[in-house]
Structure 1
Amino acid sequence: MCDDGAGPTVVSVNVGLPRTVEVDGTVVTTAIWKAPVAGRVAVGRCNLAGDRQADPTVHGGVDKAVYAYAAEDLAWWADELGRDVPPGAFGENLTTAGIDLRSVAVGEVWAIGSAVLAVTQPRVPCYKLAVRFGDRSLPRRFAAAGRPGAYVRVLQEGELAAGDRLHVLSSPDQAVTVGLVATAYHSHDAQLAGAVLRAPGLPASWYDWARARVG
């Protein structure tokens, strides 16, 4: 994917810390509540300054250091759900505009502010989305919508802020999009899983999953 004339931008930078909430009598710890912050935000190897993940075994880490979701997708969800869906509502750290995150390639490299990021994988929804929206159907609907957003790893630490341009520095020759990886996973399609194996830069667990599905 190449940068167009107008250029994609960061609409907001969103961070949040773990909190406990009660769901059907069970206490759940989650950091899915993110809110926009002003000013320049430091980008570390595993997260943004002021941001944490509640369960580092499945969230965060170098391969899920920062999560991006598109303002266009938030608008789609607002229509779909009939409610306000503000920046950060899906737990994203970067709300973007002007770039179709379904079509970005795994391994694509972005420069935002002084940080350099590489796209690693789509989001696979978990029950925390249901907690955030108070809707048990949200994980299933999120998977079916085909709007997974994109996780990135940090190649170069730096700072970024709302209003920064998102520059696409490079994209793999054999592009496998975030949307294709997500569709392969949710559809259990062996042919699409074979295509996932061609994606450069996926975490090892994705290749293990794809080989098992193909084989």
Structure 2
Amino acid sequence: MTGRLAAVNLGTVTEAEWAGDASGRSGIDKRPADGPVPVRRDGLVGDFIAERAHHGGLDQAVYAYAEEDAGWWAAELGRAVPAGAFGENLTTYAVDVTGAVIGEQWAVGSALLQVTKPRTPCTTFAGFWGVPDLIKRFTVRALPGAYLRVLREGEFGPGDPVEVVERPAHGVTIGEVFRAMSLEPELLPRLVEATELPEQLREKARRRLAGTRP
């Protein structure tokens, strides 16, 4: 199961009214790098992250979005959606990002990454695209992209292969987690099975399950 990187993207400093950071800055506007980029435990070297309370960190060190899914949005909106437009670090090709299993490991360049959780759309994302109802549309479409933690530091660049080298048996996918936390609460019991899911998210699933019980 091998795909490749269509692009590796780094955040630029953007100042805007829609930026979620208190300083009015955002790093959602990411642009493709020309060559290999080093990746450390806390993310890509040179990637600007403004609102670290909600972005970045070990469980969200790298964000991947599929080129094929971006193509659907381009057709839906009738406009170009270039690499980095989702705020993603890795634009992938021939990688099933939505179907990636929580905890599965990707060998990318000389680095080793692990799938952790889906991205949750925010008002900054909607403001960046200039689509007021984007959060609702993004949620319904349920192609959220995947956050990854860095198990082994290294570097990668455009064209490098993305190889799934390990996949947990529980089978809980990025898409299932996203749908469970948004429009399909009947999937919540599945989240508790995925021990590689960040504990904060598993605890949120437990609380919601407890609230739905008599």
TM-score bucket (shorter structure): over 0.9
Is 1:101 matched with 2:97? yes
Choose from 174, 180, 189 the match for 1:194. Answer: 189
Choose from 203, 210, 214 the match for 2:209. Answer: 214
1:18 aligned partner: 13
Counterpart Cα distance in 2 of 1:188 and 1:175: 17
What number of residue pairs does the alignment pair up? 208
1:205 aligned partner: 200
TM-score, normalised with respect to structure 1: 0.93
1:141 aligned partner: 137
Deviation at 1:84, TM superposition (A): 0.5
Contact in 1 for aligned 2:106/2:112 (Cα 8 Å): yes
Contact in 2 for aligned 1:188/1:213 (Cα 8 Å): no
2:71 aligned partner: 75
Deviation at 1:111, TM superposition (A): 0.5
Deviation at 1:50, TM superposition (A): 1.0
Choose from 109, 118, 123 the match for 1:122. Answer: 118
Deviation at 1:23, TM superposition (A): 4.2
- Which blocks of at least 5 consecutive residues in structure 2 are unaligned? none
Counterpart Cα distance in 1 of 2:162 and 2:15: 34
Question: 1:186 aligns to what SS in structure 2?
Answer: coil
Choose from 38, 52, 59 the match for 1:42. Answer: 38
Counterpart Cα distance in 2 of 1:133 and 1:71: 17
Is 1:91 matched with 2:90? no
Counterpart Cα distance in 1 of 2:173 and 2:26: 28
Residue by residue over 1:17-70, the C-alpha shift from the partner in whole angstroms, topping out at 9 and shown as x without a partner, is: 33211349x973211000001111000111101102111110000000000000
Counterpart Cα distance in 1 of 2:35 and 2:93: 18
Which amino acid in 2 is paired with 1:104? Answer: A
TM-score, normalised with respect to structure 2: 0.94
Contact in 2 for aligned 1:172/1:200 (Cα 8 Å): no
Which amino acid in 1 is paired with 2:207? Answer: A
Kindly, what percent of the aligned residue pairs are identical? 44
Which amino acid in 1 is paired with 2:109? Answer: G
